[in-house]
Amino acid sequence: MNERTLDLIRDVQDYPQPGVLFKDITPLLGDPDGFAAMVDEIAGLFEADKIVGIEARGFILAAPVAYKARAGFVPVRKKGKLPAETLEESYDLEYGSATIEVHRDAFAPGDRVLIVDDVLATGGTAAATVELVRRAGADVVGVAVLMELAFLEGRARLPGVEVRALLTV
Answer positive or negative: Cα dihedral of 109, 114, 118, 123: positive
Per-residue binding letters, 24-63, with ligand 5GP (x by CB under 6 A) = -x----------------------------x--xx-----
Query: Which range in 37-45, 63-71, 116-124, 160-168 contacts ligand 5GP by CB under 6 A?
Result: 116-124
Parallel, antiparallel, or unpaired: how do β-strands 139-148 and 112-120 relate?
parallel
Contact 86, 118 (CB under 8 A): no
Q: Which is nearer to ligand 5GP, 17 or 105 (CB)?
A: 17
Q: Minimum distance from CB of 150 to ligand 5GP (Å)? A: 12
CA distance 146 to 99: 23
Q: Minimum distance from CB of 52 to ligand 5GP (Å)? A: 12
β-sheet with 72-78: strand ranges across: 86-92, 97-103, 72-78, 50-54, 112-120, 139-148, 163-168
Q: Does 123 bind ligand 5GP (CB under 6 A)?
A: yes
Q: Minimum distance from CB of 50 to ligand 5GP (Å)? A: 18
Question: 41, 55, 57, 88: which is the annotated catalytic residue?
Answer: 57
- 57 catalytic, yes or no? yes
Position among 49, 89, 101, 118 found at the interface with ligand 5GP (CB under 6 A): 118
Helix (H, G, I), strand (E, B) or coil at 132: helix
Whether omega before 144 lies within 30 degrees of 0, making that bond cis, reads no
Contact 71, 43 (CB under 8 A): no
Question: 41, 55, 88, 94: which is the annotated catalytic residue?
Answer: 94
Q: Does 87 bind ligand 5GP (CB under 6 A)?
A: no
Q: Does 75 bind ligand 5GP (CB under 6 A)?
A: no
Enzyme catalytic residues: 57, 94
